[in-house]
Chains A and B, each alone.
Chain A
Amino acid sequence: MNAVPIVILIVAVAFIVRRGSRRRSTPNLGAAVSSGIGLVATREIQQRLRGRILRVATLVMLLVIAAAIVIPTLGGKGGSQTKVGITGTVTTAERAAILDIGKQVGSTVHIVAEANPATARADVSDGAVDLAVVDGDQVVVPRALTDSDASTTALTARALAVALGEQRAEAAAKLTPAQQAALGKVAPVAITGLKPAKGSDSDQGTAVVGLILMFVMLSQYGTWTLMGVMEEKASRVVEVLLAALRPNQLLGGKVLGIGVLVFAQATILVGFALGLGAAVGSNILNGTAPVVVVSVLGWLVLGYAFYSWVFAAAGSMVERQDQVQAIAFPVTIPLLIGYVSSITAVSSGHASLYITVLAYLPPTAPFAMPVLVSLHAATWWQFTLSALISLGSTVMLARFASAVYRRAVLRTGGRVKLRDVLSGARTQAGPPRTNEAV
């Protein structure tokens, strides 16, 4: 049933990969590094690490992540201590009840003894305490509460008011201690949901941060690939390179080199995010959020692998900075669609048919599939299926991109049109090609 499409895909991908790898013979790492692809990738990494752009970009992203993690914890938990002033004597039971209320609203309550109602009011108004219980039958807050006020002070005040009211009612009813004890053991009845719960807020928060990261990194590294290819074309060094390397080695090395940097940078960013999250007690690690993190990382690699070929082929068609904008825009559109649709889906908290379809299309899957994961709307095999579709189309795309690259990168003197490249491909198909470069 469900397994059939997966098996078909695994076989198909294995077949493509085997066909691709049959020509190469790289038995060990050393040989791999000194192979054409390895040398190109190594140069790419060295040159990028030496430049300032990578370091600055990483720093900026670290700052953005730090802000995204730390700021919510400042707002949400700033009032995690509530000072409650109380006039008169407080029994142990009352004290326990008040502390319990604090726990319910997620705050540690400190009880402050007040000499009389006047000092209690004065302390509330100058902020020495957050609220006060006066004479056991009145809760004083600095400002009248609105219905929508969900601050810790408001929550505590409302809960206290209810509890005090209950105590007064119990006193008025003149219940026996046993009856009072029975009432104290009120247990809530079960709540049954008709549908499973929506993904937790923390999962979705993690997904949003992940989506932003995904978009920033895919467009940044895609642009790097595009510019890198363009610069080699513009400086004409590509002709010297291609005299010594096959086009797919040169292109593959570039994609691999930048890819290694993508993964290293993403790992640093995610590691930093997780570490910082744990340190400041952010909810980024709660629930199934780690699964979302892993799926974002995995899709970042898949997404990069897919898009880098598109950007590389685009780069081979231009040779001037002012042509970059025109060619980069259409390439970035699927990225934008995936990003915007996915952010919308996360905020709606519901996996629509639209986003589910996007989750299986390779250009948008890097965004949409992690969203489905965060919404608990994807099973492991759906995830794997989408990943395999993406891998399979990446292999095909790489071949197509190599062909475009090979035909476009030596055509200088203006922007190369895709139509020309493709029609060139067709006329080339007929006669024998004895000096095939690919």
Chain B
Amino acid sequence: MTLELDSLTRRFGAVTALDGLSFTVEAGKVAGFLGPNGAGKTTTMRAIFGLTDLDAGSVRWNGRLVDAESRKRFGYMPEERGLYPSMQVGEQVEYFARLRGLNAAAAKAATAATLERLGVAARTASKVEELSHGNQQRVQLAVALVHEPELVVLDEPLAGLDPGGIDAIGEVLREEARRGCSVLLSSHQLDLVEDLCESVTIIDHGRLVVAGDVDALTTHGTGRLVVRVEGDRTARWARKLRGVTVSEIDAGAVRLAVAEGVDSDAILDAARAAGRVTEFHFERRRLSEVFREALG
């Protein structure tokens, strides 16, 4: 079950929000959707739900154009949260379950289970407006997940949550992916995305910049090696090595940029020849570095 976005183009007057954007979201994975403000993330998400007209391009689910029927099996949490303020939590989640095609009994059962899972079962009879921000966010997520969607699209689901809330919601999203659901979420908290997501898509100016698995992206390209040799502050031993550049010396820890194809054992040998090696490891890039590099 794959979501395919193919050459999405959307113009608002002189502004081009989406400029031939294409990428795919695979089943069973939590996919991060990143980009600076105004990159076109929200427009893309709205396009998946037909909430914005497209000037060109198409959205396909399992190879078929997305229509009202397939959208019933999607879940959505928009950037601007929206619930009926004076409606009870339970009633509200049930209502959305029914709109997605569940019958009355199934909707009731699914609502109880989902609220339990998100830790807000005790507030079933409360009005939404009486809940704290964090709990409203959980109810919003319940609305998106109550019908066991095949695809769930979440615009900034972690914004404004305390660390406990982030962990809880992150765990729920991982469970959803394990169930076989495709999860696409946007966020500005790159460290959280790195922990939570298996793949990321980075866009800017409505165009795709980088896409791929988080592991591949953070280890790809120039390797970074951190070496510490006891008593050494100059790293003279490393400067002789071919394909190795000293990028930084920080209180005895030498950070090396290693070109592809260079054998790390040769570097270790050179370090040992210079003294006792107390630290030797490859440094992964943070996702935030990948992000900044990708956006130039």
Contacts and interface: CB of A to CB of B under 8 A. Distances in A.
B49 interface: yes
B76 A435 contact: no
A434 B71 contact: no
B38 to A, nearest CB: 15
B114 to A, nearest CB: 15
B51 A242 contact: yes
A241 interface: yes
Given A34-B103, A431-B55, A436-B50, A239 B68 contact: no
Q: Give the most central of A43, A246, A434: most B CB within 10 Å.
A: A434
Contacts of A43: 95
A353 interface: no
Interface string A391-402: 000000000000
Given A39-B99, A243-B76, A435-B59, A235 B83 contact: yes
B54 interface: yes
A181 to B, nearest CB: 82
B50 A239 contact: no
Classify chain A: how many residues form its interface, as a range: 20 to 34
B51 A437 contact: yes
Interface in A26-68: 34, 36, 39, 43, 47
B76 A39 contact: no
Interface string A226-241: 0000001001111111
B100 to A, nearest CB: 6
A325 interface: no
B262 interface: no
Interface residues of B, number: 37
Contact of A244 (B58, B85, B96, B140): B96
Given A243-B71, A435-B53, A236 B98 contact: no
Given A36-B99, A39-B98, A240-B143, A435 B54 contact: yes
Contacts of B66: 435
Interface in B1-60: 46-47, 49-59
Interface string A420-438: 0000000010011111110
Nearest to A434: B58
Contacts of A428: 53
A436 B85 CA distance: 29
Interface in A186-244: 232, 235-244
Given A240-B76, A435-B50, 13 more contacts: A236-B82, A239-B78, A240-B78, A240-B140, A243-B71, A243-B74, A244-B76, A431-B54, A431-B56, A433-B54, A434-B54, A435-B52, A435-B59
9 contacts: A237-B83, A239-B80, A240-B83, A242-B49, A243-B76, A244-B72, A245-B68, A245-B99, A432-B56
